[in-house]
Structure 1
Amino acid sequence: MTRRASWKGTLKFRTISCEVGLYSALSSTEKISFNIINRKTGHRVERQFVDSETGKPVERDDQIKGYALDNGDYITIEGDELAALMPENDKTITLKRFLPIEAVDTLYFDRPYHLAPVGEHDGETMAALARAMAADGMAAIGEAILFRRNRTLLIRAQGETLVATTLNFDYEVRSAKTAFKSIPDVKMDDEMLELAGHIISTKSGRFDPQAYTDRYNEALTELVQAKIAGKTLPKRKVEKRDNIVDLKEALRRSVAEGGKGARGGSRRKAG
């Protein structure tokens, strides 16, 4: 990899260790981004912090963090007090245990990173670890100090390389029971389940990330290019939707539409 590593350190498990670099697996270079502009002057607007009561600007040295109390007052916390809470960074990702890949709920997934070896010997160690994990269908739980915080990572094999995904902590993930406690118990008859199962079977396939596009970002790109060329985009047609309230009727129509599409395929007759 030619990109600059977000973090460099040691991947360690018992007596096995290798030097690795952590590279973000996400990219925003293809996304359209905007600046805030003064409509009257065309100049870029700069962000400035002001006192909520006086309206006067607050210099950086006078900005500190505050915890709001119920009465509206604040407990102030200085930067050196926060720095003292930071755990000591030993630049090590320590593998704590191995477990089946499917054992970790994907709700806890945060950000993915590529783990790349620093040296040739490190590459051999990582390749061996990746092969063994892939063969057994296992992943590893690791811990490290990353970006000034202690992090838990799920490390998985991807070919002969490793991918590390930071995990959200339990307090950061909403329980499904809490989020959906108001949903009533829905009863379905056999026909509804059969219709739903038929739709699923006819639409089954594999995940191809290139088949899914960011339509909003594509529309932004089209708009910006039209603005540069001095053109006006045509108004988009509003898609018509049937207001079908009955779920069973909606399932029946979906099955019927799927059947119409299937007739145009290249089915072979038996015999």
Structure 2
Amino acid sequence: MPRPVWSGAISFGLVNIPVKLYNAVKKKTIHFNQLRKSDGCRINLKKVCSTDGAEVPNENIVKGYEISPDRYVVVSSEELETIQPKNAKTIAIEDFVSLSEIDPMYFDNSYYMTPDKGSAKAYALLLKAMQKTGKVAIAKVVIRNKQYLTAIRPSGQALSLSTMHFADELISLAQLEELPDTGVEPDKRELAMAEQLIESLSAAFKPEKYHDEYYEQVIKMIEQKAEGQTIAVQPEVKEGAKVIDLMAALEASISAIKKNPDKAGKTVVSSGRKKSRAQ
């Protein structure tokens, strides 16, 4: 049974709605321990002083912010608490916007929100009102001593909350080098073929059809090794010949889809080479 990671209240005008926050994502990660090669002994990482090499216990460790090389400002937990927002347990809604106005690059982690004791009616009111208006609530909240910009929106029978990056955390396109020349006009025939290829690969979004194939293969390999099976080395996949002609690459891609429509979406053109994602 999932446990709440945060509890507080949504501040909606003069309405206060106590809620609980639950993780909406279960991230699949594989953690490897470091072992000594000779005997498989577990390696422990110790916190040591960079000056004398002595191990430092946790009670003697403080936070320091580097202001210049080897010069730090020491900050205590108590000092950080004094400047924490007074409404640290409140999700304060500031605006309602259209979801289409939010660039997906802003989104970070996702959570579900459920009503806490005594707030079912007010929670249901906000949920229904947001469903009817089609709006997303923009709010700020403090979680684990960090303030987040968030987006609250209906997700079926509940409200969901997504933490967001602040605008100054996103890297501007202007900072990138070698951006495409906006003055370059594509060939009309090539553009038409590219549009046709996109249409051929278009489908309704079904997230359950996509899998982390690398994760699954690693887990399978670990299970096989645990059972004492020999792991075969995968043969190297040879890249296809370089396709210099963009039009030829587009035509070949569309032709491949027409010949085998069941594998639509498996063939892509990348870096001038035609290859299969299944490889």
TM bucket (normalised to shorter chain) is 0.7 to 0.9
- Whole-angstrom CA distance in 1 between matches of 2:17 and 2:67: 47
Matched residue SS, 1:187? coil
For 1:207 and 1:117, the matched residues in 2 are separated by: 30
How far off is 1:89 after superposition?
4.3
State whether residues 130 and 161 of structure 1, in contact with CA within 8 Å, keep that contact through their aligned partners in structure 2: yes
Gaps spanning 5+ residues in structure 2: where? 265-279
Q: Deviations over 1:127-163 (max 9, x none)?
A: 3322322232210011222211222110011112111
User: How far 1:90 moved relative to its partner?
Assistant: 4.2
1:59 and 2:57 equivalent?
Answer: yes
Structure 1 stretch 15-24 or stretch 189-198: which is displaced more? 15-24
Q: In structure 2, do the counterparts of structure 1 residues 66 and 16 end up closer, same or farther at CA, with 3 Å as the change threshold?
A: closer
2:267 aligned partner: none
Whether the 8 Å CA contact 1:66–1:74 is kept in 2: the answer is no
Kept after mapping to 2: 8 A contact 1:139/1:156: yes
Partner of 1:155: 152
TM-score, normalised relative to structure 1: 0.86
1:136 aligns with 2:96: no
- Does the 8 Å CA contact 1:7/1:146 hold for their aligned counterparts? yes
Whole-angstrom distance in 1 between the partners of 2:262 and 2:24: 42
Q: Does the CA contact (< 8 Å) of 1:130 and 1:159 recur in 2?
A: no
Q: CA deviation at 1:263?
A: 10
Who is 2:257 aligned against? 258
RMSD: 2.3
CA distance in 1 between counterparts of 2:262 and 2:158 reads 44
Residues 67 and 76 in structure 1, CA contact (< 8 A), matched pair in contact too: yes
In 2, distance between residues paired with 1:14 and 1:148? 25
Query: In structure 1, which of residues 43, 50, 61 is the aligned counterpart of residue 41 of structure 2?
Result: 43
Counterpart of 1:205?
203
Q: Give the Cα–Cα distance (whole angstroms) in 2 for the partners of residues 124 and 198 of structure 1.
A: 50
| TM-score relative to the length of structure 2 | 0.84
CA distance in 1, matches of 2:205, 2:110: 18
- Tell me the CA shift for residue 67 of structure 1: 3.4
Give 2:247's aligned residue: 248
Partner SS state of residue 196, structure 2:
helix
Shift of the 61–262 alpha-carbon distance from structure 1 to 2, 3 Å rule, reads closer
The answer on whether the counterparts of 1:131 and 1:160 sit within 8 Å (CA) in structure 2 is no
Are the aligned partners of 1:111 and 1:167 in contact in 2 as well (CA < 8 Å)? yes
Distance 1:263 1:223 in 2: 29
Looking at structure 2, the residues matched to 3 and 111 of structure 1 have their Cα atoms a distance apart, in angstroms, of 16
Distance, in Å, in 1 between the alignment partners of 2:246 and 2:75 is 57
Query: Which SS does the other structure have where 1:153 is aligned?
Result: strand
Higher relative contact order (CA 8 A, sep 6+): 1
1:83-98 matches, cutoff 5 A: 83-98=81-96
2:106 to 102, 105, 108: 108
Question: How many pairs were matched up?
Answer: 260
Query: Which residue is 1:268 aligned to?
Result: none
Rate the CA distance shift 1:75–1:233 in 2: closer, same or farther, 3 A: same
1:225 aligns with 2:250: no
Cα separation, 1, equivalents of 2:222 and 2:35: 15
Amino acid at match of 1:214: D
- Residues 25 and 113 of structure 1 are in contact (CA less than 8 Å); yes or no, is this contact kept in structure 2? yes
